[in-house]
Amino acid sequence: MSKQRQLAILSALLVLFIFLSSCQRRTPSPIIETPTVPTATEALTNTPFPTYTPSRTATLTSTPYPSPTITPTATGRWDGRVLAMTPLPPVEVTITADNIQRISALAVWGKGQANDIALSPDGQILAVGTNIGVHLYDSLSYENLALLQTLNPVRSVTFSSDNQLFALGQGRGVIDIIDRRDYSLITRLPPTRRDLPENFEFSLNFSPDDDDLISVIKTTNGIFIERWETTSWQRKVSFSMDQGLAAYINPDLDLIGVIDNEDLTLQSLTYPEENDLLDLPAGISPAFWDRMADFGGEVAPASDGEFILINNGAAITHWRVLAEDFTYLLDNYPNKIPNPCYDAPDTCLNENGGFSWDCGDEPGTPPIELIALTPDDIMVLISLNNNRTEFRRASDSLLIWDIKATFKDVAFSPGGEFFFGLRLDGTIEKRTTLDGSLIDFIDQHPAQLYDLDFSPDSAVLAAGFSDGWIRVFSSANGKMLGVLNGEARALQFSPDGALLAAGLLDGTVRIFELDEGSYYDIAPGHLDAVTDLAFSADGNQLLTVSADCTASLWQVEERYRIRNLTPDSEDPFRVTEVDLSSDNLTQFFAGNRNGIFIVHETESNEVLLSTGTGVTDIALSPGNDILAVTGANSWLLLQPTVGLPPEPQPMDAGLASDGYALAFNPDGTLLTLATIQDLEFWSVGDAGFLANLQIDESPVPGSRPVSLVFAPSGSLIALGTSDGLIHIFGIPAN
């Protein structure tokens, strides 16, 4: 196609965009104040929200429809799933091998990590898509207006321009269409492809006139486009195209662009036969595209199609479409973020001055996390993975401001006066675009759950999260009783329930005195994250292990370190799991090495089991007579504390898959193993498989079991998954 023809097509599309834009309303600029956010208190608080006064001086267009609050009742559930804070039914007193066939899922607690955030066209509603549904917040008061549960994890949320509908793109390719006025389900659009992989990108957009909904699914094998008519919800277009280095959607111009082999393909979203091929600027070096192949590419298009910004993960180029060369290249960023696999303190160095583990040849984390244009295409937000975010003028890259933050998703207000940014830890910050200052934040969707533990009386369940809070839930109904301060990678209650020990991400060992409502830190702690811990049977001592490759035994009441050791001094490893015998004489360690190390109080370190593969969890039975080990394979080690290497008894019934977490029931007769798909139950006496229970039908990319605990009463099992959810299992009473 000739240059003249290309210009004619783009000019016609530009005229169409200007006409459509003239029909859209702009909201006036709000007046923004920055409130003072106090620090967290030591005492248990009654709410997970920070104690601040939200700014209410911002003026936006009024909400055209009422915003009802949905009460999670039995008649209001979607798809029969159990909502958080639902009282549990009466359950059997104990879970045993004899009644395990009757076990079932009772509830899912927590709000789940945020997968996608979106603002309504009037700027009033913030939608947060999670693995259990979509949470709707008032963007000024931050009130949680509703939770709409979905059958599959929500990956994409989009509003119609008239604010009457919103669509939820979910796992498996399912799309729910919701009425904005009362949050009712209008229809569910079934997936057109049954062979979607676990990991895929899902984008939904309404056409500018709201006549159509456009669905784009990107996989490693291709791009699949569907177009639905919004009055009948009949499919009107369905086609696919090859995946390239990067692809972007411009619904205003009804185009999808795909970059590959230094070419840009512009494809109509309505007419599969209409496409165009443009040469990308020759001035961009081949190395730019090579880096894009390593890190994965991203393109931010101007809504009128005049220019695009191309991010290759380490540099950004601005190109005015049809120009012979790019406008500028931003390449003053790091070439790569250092692989955290090797980011370890000197305590992990071996006798050769290096590390004894191999991180592989992965390209690592790209320096640039995302780029996003403001609604008027004048400014661009660039978020970096070195805890920095820039705000630049898109036309010439002039830096306006930068702040210390990294965002993995952003949603701008319609007029661009403020934005919501989703941080890597799950906190959602509201910031002004004037200078990037913080207006407020929502900390209800931590990105990661680390650990769980029941209190000795089984009344409460403590959970450590990535957003800096330890949340304490009622075991009766999942209601949150309060929060404690600290980003806890490991948690354990003392045997008498008076203390809660927390191993924090920064290496701090923190002890919460629950009766006093306060805490203290045992100094000096570890040099890296505390990854696991265990109280002695009398509660006087605490054993902690760390990513700094060491283990420490602490005297709790007097707050000092009894001793410090390196489980394998010749080839130190990052210790991730620990267990302690009830006589306080034997310690078991696992980490990023292929084996289990044992340390007796009066003996040197030794290898108890060489697994050949990584170990994800270990558990010592209540009687200290069996050590269970899981990872790519699972074993039972009989009599591990007697000093002689036991013969591993493999759990090889052909049913166990890769294990992530283990737990014995209180009497030690039943072992529960968590895999990606299910819970597996094994008889301890003969390592025999008894039953399995599917955790969730919906595949959740990146989500995995991280913690599995039995209530001391034996009546409940809590499974924490990395997506911030807590799954509760039990046996309903007859």
Mean pLDDT (whole number) for 202-216: 95
Return the pLDDT at 336: 79
Return the pLDDT at 546: 97
% of the chain at pLDDT higher than 90: 65
Return the pLDDT at 363: 65
Cα-Cα end-to-end distance for the chain:
74
Reply yes or no on whether the pLDDT at 438 is more than 90.
yes
pLDDT in tens, 712-726: 999 999 999 999 999
Return the pLDDT at 698: 53
pLDDT in tens, 303-357: 999 999 999 999 999 999 989 899 999 999 988 787 788 889 999 999 889 998 8
Q: Lowest-confidence range among 131-135, 531-535, 593-597?
A: 593-597
Q: Of residues 62 and 417, which shows the higher confidence score? A: 417
The overall average pLDDT reported for the chain is 85
CA distances for 728 relative to 73, 109, 695, 718, angstroms: 19, 8, 10, 5
CATH code assigned at 687: 2.130.10.10
Return the pLDDT at 28: 29
Residue at token pair 């309060």 = 482
Residue 276 tokens read as 């165009």
Mean pLDDT (whole number) for 140-159: 93
pTM listed for this prediction: 0.85
- Residue 559 — very low, low, confident or very high, per pLDDT cuts 50/70/90? very high
pLDDT in tens, 565-614: 999 888 999 999 999 998 888 899 999 888 899 988 766 678 888 887 78
Name the DSSP class of 342: G
Residue 292 falls inside a structural domain: no
Reply yes or no on whether the pLDDT at 515 is more than 60.
yes
Residue 344 falls inside a structural domain: no
Range of the domain at 494: 449-730
Reply yes or no on whether the pLDDT at 118 is more than 50.
yes
Across 466-571, the runs of DSSP E, i.e. the strands, are 469-474, 480-485, 488-493, 499-504, 509-513, 518-522, 530-535, 541-546, 551-555, 560-565
- Residue 408 — very low, low, confident or very high, per pLDDT cuts 50/70/90? very high
Residue 394 falls inside a structural domain: no
- How many domains in the chain? 1
Residue 23 falls inside a structural domain: no
CA distances for 369 relative to 101, 261, 332, 543, 719, angstroms: 46, 23, 15, 38, 31
CB 597 within 8 A of CB 604: no
CB 111 within 8 A of CB 445: yes
Residue 605 falls inside a structural domain: yes
- Residue 699 — very low, low, confident or very high, per pLDDT cuts 50/70/90? low
Residue 429 tokens read as 């910050």
Residue 336 falls inside a structural domain: no
Return the pLDDT at 696: 66
Distance CA 125, CA 479 (A): 25
Return the pLDDT at 731: 93
Residue 625 falls inside a structural domain: yes
pLDDT in tens, 247-272: 999 999 999 999 987 899 999 999 99
Return the pLDDT at 697: 56
Residue at token pair 């530009």 = 14
Spell out the residues 6+ positions from residue 390 whose beta carbon is closer than 8 angstroms to its own: 381, 382, 383, 384, 399, 401, 402
Reply yes or no on whether the pLDDT at 632 is more than 80.
yes
Return the pLDDT at 529: 97
Residue 439 falls inside a structural domain: no
Return the pLDDT at 617: 96
pLDDT in tens, 168-205: 999 889 999 999 999 999 999 988 777 788 788 999 99
Residue at token pair 């490893």 = 573
